[in-house]
Amino acid sequence: MKQKSQKPPKRNFIQEFKNSPPDVKKEKARKFFFGSKESDGFCKLFIIYALLICIGFIYIYPMLYMISSSFMTLDDLLDTSVQWIPSKLNLDNYINSARSMEFWSSFLKSVVIAGVPTIINVIVCSFVGYGFARFEFKGKYLCMGILIFSYILPSIITMMPTYVLYSNMKIVGHLTAFVLPSLLGQGLNCQLFILIFYQFFRQVPKVLIEAGQVDGAGYLKSYLRISLPSAAPAILTVFLFSIVWYWNESYLTQMYVTGAFRGTSIWTTLIIELKDFNTNYSSAQQSASTTGVSQNNNESIQMAATMLSILPMLIMYFVLQKQFVESIDNAGITGE
Partner 1 sequence: MAEKEVVETKKQKKEKMKKIKPGRLAKREARMGYVFVLPWIIGALAFLIVPLCQSFYYSLNRVVLNPTGMKFVFRGFDNYAQISVQDPTFLTDLANYVVTTVISAPVIVVFALIIAMLLNGKIKCRGLFRLIYFLPVIVVSGPVMSMLTGQGATSISSVDASTIQRFLEGVLPTNIAETIANLFGNMTQTLWYSGVQILIFLSALQKINPSLYEAAKIDGGSSWECFWKITLPTIKPMILLNVVYSIVYMSNNGNNNIISSIQTAMFAGTTKGYGYASAMAWLYSVIETVIVAVFALILMTRKDIYQKQVKKAKKEAKKQAKVLKKVQRREMKHEAKIAKATKA
User: Going residue by residue from 136 to 175, which x/- string records binding to partner 1, judged by CB under 8 A?
Assistant: xxx-x--x--xx--xxxxxxxxxxxxxxxx----------
| Least distance between partner 1 and beta carbon 186 (Å) | 4
Instruction: Name which of residues 65 to 104 contact partner 1 (CB under 8 A).
Output: 65-66, 69
Distance CA 293, CA 287 (A): 10
23 or 336, CB closer to partner 1? Answer: 336
Q: Which of 266, 250, 101, 251 is nearest to 173 (CA)?
A: 266
Instruction: Name which of residues 174 to 233 contact partner 1 (CB under 8 A).
Output: 181, 183-186, 194, 219, 223
Q: Are 255 and 261 in contact (CB under 8 A)?
A: yes
Instruction: Name which of residues 114 to 143 contact partner 1 (CB under 8 A).
Output: 124, 127-128, 130-132, 134-138, 140, 143
Q: Which of 38, 54, 70 is nearest to 300 (CA)?
A: 70
User: Going residue by residue from 43 to 72, which x/- string records binding to partner 1, judged by CB under 8 A?
Assistant: -----xx-xx--xx-xxxxxx-xx--x---
154 or 205, CB closer to partner 1? Answer: 154
Contacts of 287 (CB under 8 A, 6+ apart): none
| Least distance between partner 1 and beta carbon 305 (Å) | 8
Cα–chain center distance at 278? 26
User: Going residue by residue from 273 to 292, which x/- string records binding to partner 1, judged by CB under 8 A?
Assistant: -xx-x---------------
Instruction: Name which of residues 294 to 323 contact partner 1 (CB under 8 A).
Output: 299, 302-303, 305-306, 309-310, 313-314, 316-317, 321
- The beta strand positions in 170-305, using DSSP E, are none
24 or 218, CB closer to partner 1? Answer: 218
Q: Are 237 and 328 in contact (CB under 8 A)?
A: yes
Distance CA 129, CA 248 (A): 25
16 or 326, CB closer to partner 1? Answer: 326
47 or 289, CB closer to partner 1? Answer: 47
Range 138-173 burial, b when 16+ CB lie within 10 A, else e: eeeeeeeeebeeeeeeeeeeeeeebbeebeeeebbb
| Least distance between partner 1 and beta carbon 292 (Å) | 28
113, 172, 177, 255: which one binds partner 1 (CB under 8 A): 255
| Least distance between partner 1 and beta carbon 185 (Å) | 4
Contacts of 3 (CB under 8 A, 6+ apart): none
259 contributes a contact to partner 1 by CB under 8 A: no
Maximum distance among all Cα pairs of the chain, rounded to whole angstroms: 90
